[in-house]
Amino acid sequence: MKVCVIGAGCSGITTAKRLKEHGIDYDQFELSDDVGGNWYFKNPNGRSSVYESLHIDTSTTRLEFEEYPAPSSYPDFPHHTLIHQYFRDYVDHFGLRDGITFDTGVERAVRTEDGWEVTLTTGETRSYTDLVVANGHHWSPRLPEWASDPFDGEVIHSHAYINPFDPIEIRGKTVIVVGMGNSAMDIASELSSPWMASRLYVSARRGVWVLPKYRNGQAADKVMAPPDVPKDVALAASRQLIRDMVGSMSTYGLPEPDHEPLSAHPSVSADFLTKAGSGDIHMLADVERLDGRTVHLTDGTSVDADVIICATGYNMEFPFFDTSDTELHPDSDHRYPLFKRMIKPGLDHLYFMGLAQSSPTIVNLAEQQSKLLAPLLAGDYVLPSVAEQLEIMTADEAAHLEQYYASPRHTIQIDFGRYCADLDKEIEAGRSRARQGS
């Protein structure tokens, strides 16, 4: 057995740690010159989307690896430089660096009778029994169709945004930030100061609930309901708490959401509501088309702008898989169902790590998933039948997605605490199957 691990971001490195502990032979390839993936600022592989001012929206105690706690000196919401250093320290602490081949990506991965044939960016081809995909899903920017319309200003995706002066000088410009997710709110808040953008608009398809980072003096995600509380009870209580904390969005000059709190992936900001309520952020309807300097909106109005920053999400892509092998790619609705968000039922020797939109975080998701993967590869865990996998997968998807409105943003959403509790049960069931020889 020999395993190929694609990527050395947070999911790849914690997977490698578990494989090493189980004595499983593996090669790990990283396109960049260091670990960290998305958290490597100005990553030379061009795939990092970390802007200079970014602080993570998940508290330290929620994102840290359970087998390597973050330093006690870390604040509740660390700057991206601390997160990157934490990943580098993790790799060095567990002696993983020598097992990573840097500056080398996987160009092509093709299924064979015995596993996988992998072609590297160096041109070399190697054979593996198993393939672990940990290439992340926040690196291929998704732009709206209108972004290609003729426009005399500048249009970029938030993936390219670094700071108010790079790649575009923002001072004195009229700016539209498109979207109301976490990146949109961070960037809009940063650019909305009167000494920066001359006017800052946020264009949104729908209103959202903006959640604070703190509740009663604690990081908000520290007081989330534990997974043993029935979901409907926890959800009802959380929704009421949010309403009580933030009130009506229209109070801040924002559009009212057309959905309940927590029916979308949480938009968390310490500054956005205050900036909006202070008149520094001005709301617009969704963009319909561009023409010259004019931005036409779906409500029939229009504004002139110099810069448009599209915080419009990412495509889930696996560029190393053959495009004709449709089983290996998401469907047209951005759906990619997996057993325990790891395995495509019936497709052996292929595993996806960290491929979820997790609340509150995906940083340590693969650490939990590796508890299933390593015993599976070592023969100490046995999967249920393909039919059972499909049945479980369908039930899991329904349970995790039922609270969210339909959107490409929510197709891989999970509740981290409940997911981990279910995963632990499945791991024990699989170990029991292995002991019984079935």
Q: What is the pLDDT along the chain (438 residues), one digit of tens a residue?
A: 999 999 999 999 999 999 999 999 999 999 999 999 999 999 999 998 899 999 999 999 999 999 999 999 999 999 999 999 999 999 999 999 999 999 999 999 999 999 999 999 999 999 999 999 999 999 999 999 999 999 999 999 999 999 999 999 999 999 999 999 999 999 999 999 999 999 999 999 999 999 999 988 999 888 788 889 999 999 999 999 999 999 999 999 999 999 999 999 899 999 999 999 999 999 999 999 999 999 999 999 999 999 999 999 999 999 999 999 999 999 988 999 999 999 999 999 999 999 999 888 889 999 999 999 999 999 999 999 999 999 999 999 999 999 999 888 899 999 999 999 999 999 999 999 999 985
Instruction: Give whole-number Cα distances, 133 to 109, 152, 351, in Å.
Output: 10, 40, 6
Question: What integer pLDDT is reported at residue 361 of this predicted model?
Answer: 85
pLDDT value of residue 216: 87
How many H-runs (helices) and E-runs (strands) does the chain carry?
9, 24
What pLDDT was estimated at residue 171? 98
Which residues, at least 6 apart from 167, have a Cβ–Cβ distance to it below 8 Å? 156, 160, 161
Residues 6+ apart with CB under 8 A from 120: 29, 104, 105, 106, 107, 126
Dihedral sign from CA coordinates of 410, 416, 421, 425: positive
Q: Rounded to two decimals, what is the model's pTM?
A: 0.95
Structure tokens at 96: 């993983």
Question: Residues 425, 369: contact at Cβ < 8 Å?
Answer: no
Quote the pLDDT of residue 426.
98
Residue 359: per-residue pLDDT: 83
pLDDT for the residue 438: 56
Beta sheet of 302-304, edge-to-edge order: 287-291, 294-297, 302-304
- The number of C-alpha atoms within 13 Å of 333 and in the hemisphere containing its C-beta is 8
